[in-house]
């Protein structure tokens, strides 16, 4: 933040002198306004940046010919700001105006035309118009190949842009190829610790992260951080981004304490480096909320997400996509808390913003419909859930390639609705379609494949096809053992599922063993009152109940009740269920005690009756046989 204020002060001092020394519409004043705009842009003060750029443009229009390249540069800057503000139609208009001027003013393969095509590609990418984005980036690259030396850094940036489009399209191998080509050029063209190298390693890390190759992602992100630490000041925003990327991987690996520590480090840097309401601060609070949500610390997650929303509302226009993201995340927490009406309200607010900000078939709208569908599923409103998931799928089919991983997730959502409706054949069909796409789109041991097998196992379990369920759950577990750390919560979930099948099969000792293993992992991976512990204790309670060991069953059910009462609202179905379980087992224990007393009394009565019978019989024998005495 200190460097930006110094830069601003210098530009403003220069402008003050120019206003005295030069005519009111001299081009040098435009240059000063442009410099001021650049600083405000970097500070996230987009309205101020826009105002400065527009002031610069106004002077240029007076001072320069109508197709002067400097006007094109101004329109390009204005387009970049609109893009960051989420005003994509305005951004596109500005970049296209810039391109029109350049086509008149400059040779057909001038590098400035390539920059305009790149800017247009960025906007189309944000709009989810990936084929148009790719076309623009490739046109930019063609011009650069003619205009520039073969290893010029600008070529690397074009490959980076193309890689980003492929990444958004879920074409990970193509994305990786483009990012690696960008890295090759950057390594030749720039010094070994140039920030652009850090950026390349960061992008490669993003692809590996989405591919579920977490160790490779971590390696790339750490290399990016090493370079950034050498190349930039200790509190530069890029360092905050690097820490955030590494934290994201740890979060996916289930290493929540490490993730939280790194996100908090990222936040510390951002607070020093940027103004108090910069969008990057909102992103930091959002990331911290994400970890707390996974840790089951829902109140802390909600607090972080709401802080993120507060900043975003100040920093960005009222229909910016970052606001939609904040409402979406708040909705996810409310869903986990069982506050479904609040969750629905948040997701619908998110969808409203997206409908204003994005084209009608943008993938982000599909994500909102998907989340709304999940809430309706939890509410038992299955027809509404199905309608939302179907709408999500329709959009994805238009917006994305036919085997994009997001389509698999839509089929998964539809499968979940049918599963809850008891329509097991339809659920199985949807889950198997999801698995087919995932097998094509992702590496063979990606965690999403494990999820697909887990869902298929759930259906077979409910159909009473226990051997098939066990096979699917074991396949899921095999993948997780390869893809994830040994104490990741997802492994605990698989052991839990296997335990439930063994329970249904009447193999209670095996069931208990699986649930014990699940519990061991959770004790290492999760905070002590995480809701997932309640799941383990509940299932162990059911097994002990089936085994007739009611005292142990009561212990587990009471442990479940204590956890859910701490973590969930009092009306949540899990709280109600846990109380019911405790009362049910208490009645069984009470009945057992009463039965024991009854049996004891009966035995005692029988003994006494038997003794009297023996006494009577003895008297009779003595009476009939006097010589016996």
Token reading at 371: 């989340």
How many CA atoms lie within 13 Å of 13's alpha carbon, on the beta-carbon side? Answer: 6
Helical ranges in 169-278 per DSSP H: 172-189, 195-210, 214-231, 237-252, 256-273
**Cβ pair 362, 399 in contact under 8 A:** yes
Indicate the pLDDT class of residue 613, thresholds 50, 70 and 90.
Answer: confident
Token reading at 426: 């339809």
What pLDDT shows up at residue 619?
72
Please say if the pLDDT value at position 595 is more than 80. no
Please say if the pLDDT value at position 628 is more than 60. no
The per-residue pLDDT for range 323-353, each reduced to its tens digit, is 999 999 999 999 999 999 999 999 999 999 9
Distant-in-sequence, close-in-space partners of 89: CB < 8 Å, separation ≥ 6: none
Mean pLDDT of the chain: 93
Average pLDDT on 49-65 reads 95
On whether residue 8 sits in a domain, the answer given is no
Average pLDDT on 281-298 reads 96
On whether residue 571 sits in a domain, the answer given is yes
Query: How many Cβ atoms from other residues are within 10 Å of residue 257's Cβ?
Result: 12
On whether residue 620 sits in a domain, the answer given is yes
Q: Tokens 């960025």, residue?
A: 122
d(CA 350, CA 366): 12
On whether residue 92 sits in a domain, the answer given is no
The closest alpha carbon to 113, from 63, 81, 148, 159, belongs to 148
On whether residue 445 sits in a domain, the answer given is no
The per-residue pLDDT for range 179-191, each reduced to its tens digit, is 999 999 999 999 9
What pLDDT shows up at residue 622?
67
Please say which residue of 296, 314, 332 terminates a domain.
314
Spell out the long-range contacts of 177-181 with Cβ–Cβ below 8 A and sequence spacing 24 or more.
179/203, 179/204, 179/207, 180/204, 181/156
Q: Is the dihedral of CA 120, 125, 128, 133 positive or negative?
A: positive
The per-residue pLDDT for range 74-86, each reduced to its tens digit, is 999 999 999 999 9
d(CA 355, CA 451): 30
On whether residue 372 sits in a domain, the answer given is no
What pLDDT shows up at residue 43?
87
Give me the phi and psi of 211, to 5 degrees please: -80, -5
Residue 310 three-state SS: helix
The per-residue pLDDT for range 129-147, each reduced to its tens digit, is 999 999 999 999 999 999 9
Give, as one character, the DSSP assignment of residue 484: S
Q: Using N-to-C axis directions, what is the helix angle for 466-483 and 447-462, rounded to 10°?
A: 160
Residue 550 three-state SS: helix
- pTM for the whole thing? 0.86
The per-residue pLDDT for range 28-42, each reduced to its tens digit, is 999 999 999 999 998
The per-residue pLDDT for range 409-441, each reduced to its tens digit, is 999 999 999 999 999 999 999 999 999 999 999
Q: Which domain holds residue 574?
A: 526-628
On whether residue 284 sits in a domain, the answer given is yes
Distances (CA, A) of 582 to 219, 331, 617, 623: 48, 31, 51, 61
Distant-in-sequence, close-in-space partners of 17: CB < 8 Å, separation ≥ 6: none
d(CA 333, CA 328): 9
Distant-in-sequence, close-in-space partners of 235: CB < 8 Å, separation ≥ 6: 269, 272, 273
d(CA 499, CA 533): 15
Distant-in-sequence, close-in-space partners of 628: CB < 8 Å, separation ≥ 6: 621, 622
Indicate the pLDDT class of residue 71, thresholds 50, 70 and 90.
Answer: very high
How many CA atoms lie within 13 Å of 337's alpha carbon, on the beta-carbon side? Answer: 22
Please say which residue of 314, 338, 360 terminates a domain.
314
Q: How far is CA 289 from the centre of its chain?
A: 11
Please say which residue of 261, 282, 314 terminates a domain.
314
CATH number assigned to the domain comprising residue 254: 1.25.40.10
Distances (CA, A) of 209 to 248, 253, 287: 9, 10, 16
Domain count of the chain? 2
Please say if the pLDDT value at position 217 is more than 60. yes
Please say if the pLDDT value at position 4 is more than 90. no
On whether residue 37 sits in a domain, the answer given is no
Q: Tokens 């820490």, residue?
A: 243
Query: Which position has the higher pLDDT, 483 or 596?
Result: 483
d(CA 499, CA 507): 9
Please say if the pLDDT value at position 590 is more than 60. yes
Give, as one character, the DSSP assignment of residue 527: -
The closest alpha carbon to 536, from 497, 566, 576, belongs to 497
């Amino acid at each position: 933040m200190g460097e930006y204020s110094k830069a601003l002060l210098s530009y403003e001092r220069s402008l003050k002198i120019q206003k005295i020394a030069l005519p009111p519409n001299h081009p040098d004043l435009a240059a000063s306004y442009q410099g001021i705009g650049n600083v405000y842009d970097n500070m996230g003060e987009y309205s101020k940046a826009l105002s400065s750029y527009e002031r610069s443009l106004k002077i240029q229009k007076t001072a320069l010919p109508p197709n002067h390249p400097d006007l094109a540069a101004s329109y390009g800057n204005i387009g970049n700001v609109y893009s960051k503000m989420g005003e994509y139609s305005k951004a596109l208009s500005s970049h296209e105006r810039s391109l029109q001027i350049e086509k008149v003013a400059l040779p057909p393969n001038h590098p400035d035309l390539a920059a305009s095509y790149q800017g247009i590609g960025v906007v189309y990418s944000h709009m989810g118009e990936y084929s148009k984005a790719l076309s623009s980036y490739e046109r930019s690259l063609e011009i650069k190949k003619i205009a520039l030396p073969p290893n010029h850094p600008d070529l690397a940036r074009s490959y980076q842009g193309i890689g980003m489009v492929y990444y958004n399209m879920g074409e990970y191998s193509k994305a990786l190829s483009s990012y690696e080509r960008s890295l090759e050029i950057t390594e030749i063209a720039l010094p070994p610790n140039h920030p652009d190298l850090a950026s390349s390693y960061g992008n490669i890390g993003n692809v590996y992260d989405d591919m579920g190759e977490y160790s490779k992602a971590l390696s790339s992100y750490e290399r990016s951080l090493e370079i950034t630490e050498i190349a930039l000041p200790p509190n530069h925003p890029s360092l905050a981004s690097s820490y955030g990327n590494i934290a994201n991987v740890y979060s996916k690996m289930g290493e929540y304490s490490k993730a939280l520590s790194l996100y908090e480090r990222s936040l510390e840097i951002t607070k020093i480096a940027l103004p108090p309401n910069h969008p990057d601060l909102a992103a930091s609070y959002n990331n911290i909320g994400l970890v707390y949500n996974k840790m089951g610390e829902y109140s802390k997650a909600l607090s972080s997400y709401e802080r993120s929303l507060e900043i975003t509302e100040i920093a960005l226009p009222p229909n910016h996509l970052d606001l939609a993201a904040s409402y979406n995340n708040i909705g996810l927490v409310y869903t986990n808390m069982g506050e479904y009406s609040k969750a629905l309200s948040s997701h619908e607010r998110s969808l409203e913003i997206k409908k204003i900000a994005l084209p009608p078939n943008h993938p982000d709208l599909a994500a909102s419909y998907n989340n709304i569908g999940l809430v309706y599923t939890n509410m038992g409103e299955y027809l509404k859930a199905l309608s939302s998931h179907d709408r999500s799928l329709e959009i994805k089919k238009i917006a994305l390639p036919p085997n994009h991983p997001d389509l698999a997730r839509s089929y998964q959502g539809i499968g979940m609705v049918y599963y809850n409706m008891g329509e097991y054949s339809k659920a199985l069909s949807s889950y198997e379609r999801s698995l087919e796409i995932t097998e094509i789109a992702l590496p063979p041991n990606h965690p999403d494949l494990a999820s697909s097998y887990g869902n298929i196992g759930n259906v077979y379990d409910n159909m009473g096809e226990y051997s098939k369920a066990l096979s699917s759950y074991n396949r899921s577990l095999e993948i997780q053992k390869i893809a994830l750390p040994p104490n990741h919560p997802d492994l605990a979930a698989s052991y839990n599922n296997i335990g439930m099948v063994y329970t249904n099969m009447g193999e209670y000792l095996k069931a208990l063993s699986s649930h014990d293993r699940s519990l061991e992992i959770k004790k290492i991976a999760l905070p002590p009152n995480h809701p997932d512990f309640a799941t383990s204790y509940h299932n162990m309670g059911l097994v002990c109940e089936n085994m007739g060991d009611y005292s142990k069953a009561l212990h587990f059910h009471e442990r479940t009740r204590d956890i859910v009462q701490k973590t969930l609202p009092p009306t949540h179905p899990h709280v109600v269920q846990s109380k019911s379980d405790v009362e049910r087992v208490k009645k069984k224990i009470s009945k057992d005690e009463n039965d024991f007393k009854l049996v004891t009394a009966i035995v005692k009565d029988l003994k006494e009756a038997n003794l009297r019978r023996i006494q009577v019989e003895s008297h009779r024998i003595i009476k009939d046989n006097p010589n016996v005495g």
